[in-house]
Amino acid sequence: MMEENQIENVGAPGRPGLVLRPNAATPEAVQINHLRLWWARKWWILLGTLLGCAAGIFWSIWQIPEYDASTTVEMVGFNESFMGLNQFDPQAGTGAYSGTLANIQTQERILLGSSLRKRAIQRLGMETAPVGPASVDVFSIIRNRLGILSQDPTEFTQMAIRTASSTLSVHGVGLSRLLTIDCQAPSPEIAAAFANALANEYVSDNAQVRASSATRTSQWLEGQIEENKGRLEEANTKLQDFIKKEGLEFVVDQNTLADSKLKQLQQDLSALQIERVGKQSRYELATSSPVDSLPEILDDGTLRGLRDQLTALRRDRAQLTATLMPDHYKVRRIDAQIGELEQTQQREKANLVKRIQNEYEAALRREKLTTAAYSAQSHALADQASKTGQYELLKRQVEMAQQAFNALTVQYNQAALAAAVPANTVRIVDPATASGAPLRPKPLHDTLVATLFGAGLAIILCIVAEKIRLRQLSRVFASPGHLAPVLNLPELGVIPKIIPASQQGMDALNPGRLLVSGREGGVEGGDTVQAFENSSLADSFRYALTSILGRQAQHEHLTLVVTSPGPGEGKTTLAGNLAVATAQTGRSVLLIDADLRRPRLHKLFDLQINVGFADLISSEANLSSVDMMAYIQPTSTDNLYVLTVGNITSEQLGSIMFSARISKLLTRLRNNFDVILIDTPPALQFPDARLLGHLSDGVVLIVRSGMTFRTNAIAAAERFAQDGVSIIGTILNDWDAEASLDGGRGFYRYNEKYTYNS
């Protein structure tokens, strides 16, 4: 809730002043009284209720009726292993025949597809007889009379079929294998017929798909059998030709003999190679090493005997040479024996080395011969193995072709048998029947709902409008009693919104008694002047006057400034009306038009604007000797005089209000009039009201209901408080009592009980 500053009267040097007091109560704290609001807006709520009821009836008549129909089908499980069907069915093992969530959703999309719909529509077109719209209640009779639905049975039937197709829906039932097919149509028979036709087409399509799959599988297997039969015959022919060509009647036994011979040669060759390596090493050692170091030499018996004999002869010679000369015959005989033995020894050594060489060469020749035999046998065996492998290959081809042919023959027989077995994975559990009552509209229900909706909407709109109004009013002064708590100033009076005399039950009187301006008082029509001598409006001004005179009873001559925070708040009209009301009490009243920028008092009283207030201020003549009546004009109301604004130039606007002659002028006028009312420009825009406030007995602040913002009124009061100018009170202008929800509706009714005499 907004919090505004509050103003209270405090003493100030020379005259009362105003200061702000925070946390004042604001009118927005008032909550909405819903009962009072609804009673005040009862005609709007009644209108909303009637409009809702009418809308419900119109909706029930205008809406095309829709009858609901439902068919239930079941996804039947299928034994994929029955008679080996999983050997040829391409969908076996994919879950296509199970009640899984994925399969249920797949079947839903299939049922909603355009292909099945078109076939169902074509089926209905051929099998269903045309029907017309039903006339079962008052609404359907009115609907048929108005021609909302076509009365031609053929056209109506086609429209109903299209509606059923467009409203088709399919959904699974919980965790079961069931599917529900729903549709709506203007005819219950068409709705049921379409749901059943779609279900039958779905069952037929499912069976046709399985039959087509089995037929295609049988045809494919038949072609494969023919193809494999040709391959089998071709493989048999090749095998027989190969056998005749190569003569391999006993190929298995021959192959075993050749293989055994090859193994024997391989063993012999290995042994010869080992022997040749040993003899080769002995031969290479004999040729590369000293002869005496050879093991064969050292181990040979003959050579060992020769060595022993040589050793003995050398020992004997050594003994002889010890005593005999070398040329002694004994010494020479021993030398001859030694020489002969040495030659024999050399011959034996040479023979031994030659024998080693011969053995090596013999072993090498045997190895070469065996290697050649092994190689020949290997080639023979390889050739024999190639022929055997080719034979085995041809034989395996014949066997494989025979096996494929046999398997295809078995599958073909199974497929032909499965195609002949009538198996279907879908069945209709609950076919649709024609419903007796339409799904929509439901006249009683729809009318009641629309009526309640209209009433509720009207109530909500009233509450929203009231909230908006209160929110707006929370920023402005709207009703009596709002000013005093915020500004802490007395509320001098309340001026109600103008209601024409014909609406108040009174006749208009002659102008001049009480003035009301159309533009500022709330009545359309510009500056038209209306007069009411005895009316509630006149009483409101007299009430405000009573408050003013009571507040200023101590002044013999009263000077007041009438102003407002902003423009368009009715200060000029209200000042004129206060002047008229004061003059009717017998007091002499002078109304001064000090609004130099927008003077209007001369228009309200139909006066001339030749000379006036500005001329007296701008003149250099002594005010004590000036004939005031030459500037002041009388009005049609007794004791009421007006000092118009007079002639003023644009150069004088900014300085004339600061002239010292104003104080002297007001002092002289006080002596001639009981009450002086000064109409000034808005206080927040121009300084005129503040300047004249210092020279007056007080300020009357005019606030317009529903227009003046509280912040502006507070700001204006602050200005006067800072200047030390006393605000004697406020007047709430243009209050709409009839529109108020807080006790103002009896304002005019109370006054209607009394008769005023003119």
Is 747's pLDDT higher than 70? no
**Residue 373 maps to a domain:** yes
**Residue 408 maps to a domain:** yes
**Residue 2 maps to a domain:** no
Rounded Cα gap, residues 59 and 441, in angstroms: 8
pLDDT, tens digit, for every residue of 243-269?
A: 777 765 544 445 556 667 767 767 777
Tell me the angle at which helices 251-288 and 329-420 cross, rounded to the nearest 10 degrees: 150
**Residue 357 maps to a domain:** yes
Q: Could you tell me the two tokens for 597? A: 């920028």
pLDDT, tens digit, for every residue of 572-613?
A: 989 999 999 899 888 999 999 999 888 999 888 989 888 888
Pair 535, 648 in one domain: yes
Pair 46, 107 in one domain: no
Long-range contacts of 615-623 (CB under 8 A, 24+ apart): 615/646, 615/647, 616/643, 616/646, 616/661, 616/665, 617/656, 617/659, 617/661, 617/662, 617/665, 618/648, 618/652, 618/656, 618/659, 623/661, 623/664, 623/665, 623/668
Domain with 358, as residue range(s), is 251-419
Pair 329, 394 in one domain: yes
- Cα dihedral value 484, 485, 486, 491, nearest 10: 0
Looking at per-residue confidence, does 381 or 565 come out higher? Answer: 565
**Residue 16 maps to a domain:** no
**pLDDT in the model for residue 521:** 39
Pair 490, 531 in one domain: yes
**pLDDT in the model for residue 119:** 87
**Residue 113 maps to a domain:** yes
Pair 298, 182 in one domain: no
**Residue 397 maps to a domain:** yes
Banded model confidence at residue 561, pLDDT cuts 50, 70, 90: very high
Residue type, 219: Q
pTM of model > 0.75: no
Looking at per-residue confidence, does 318 or 140 come out higher? Answer: 318
Pair 718, 579 in one domain: yes
pLDDT, tens digit, for every residue of 442-461?
A: 778 888 888 898 888 888 88
Share of the chain above pLDDT 70, in %: 73
**pLDDT in the model for residue 484:** 75
Of 567, 531, 561, residue with least CA distance to 548: 561
Looking at per-residue confidence, does 249 or 738 come out higher? Answer: 738
Is 543's pLDDT higher than 50? yes
**pLDDT in the model for residue 23:** 38
Tell me the angle at which helices 571-583 and 536-551 cross, rounded to the nearest 10 degrees: 80
Q: 146-150, 165-169, 209-213, 438-442 — which is least confidently predicted?
A: 146-150
Pair 652, 706 in one domain: yes
**Residue 661 maps to a domain:** yes
What's the N-to-C CA distance of the chain in angstroms? 49
Rounded Cα gap, residues 274 and 305, in angstroms: 33
Banded model confidence at residue 630, pLDDT cuts 50, 70, 90: confident
Mean pLDDT on 72-89: 64
Pair 515, 607 in one domain: yes
Mean pLDDT on 456-478: 75
Pair 50, 155 in one domain: no
Rounded Cα gap, residues 529 and 514, in angstroms: 9
Q: Could you tell me the two tokens for 482? A: 């709002």
**pLDDT in the model for residue 523:** 31
Residue 341, classed as helix, strand or coil, is helix
pLDDT, tens digit, for every residue of 27-62?
A: 444 456 677 777 877 888 889 889 988 888 877 777
Pair 176, 286 in one domain: no
The count of structural domains within the chain is 4
pLDDT, tens digit, for every residue of 482-498?
A: 777 778 888 888 888 76
Pair 266, 147 in one domain: no
Q: 11-25, 120-134, 341-355, 396-410 — which is least confidently predicted?
A: 11-25
Could you tell me the CATH number of the domain that includes residue 211? 3.30.1890
**pLDDT in the model for residue 700:** 93
Pair 56, 72 in one domain: no
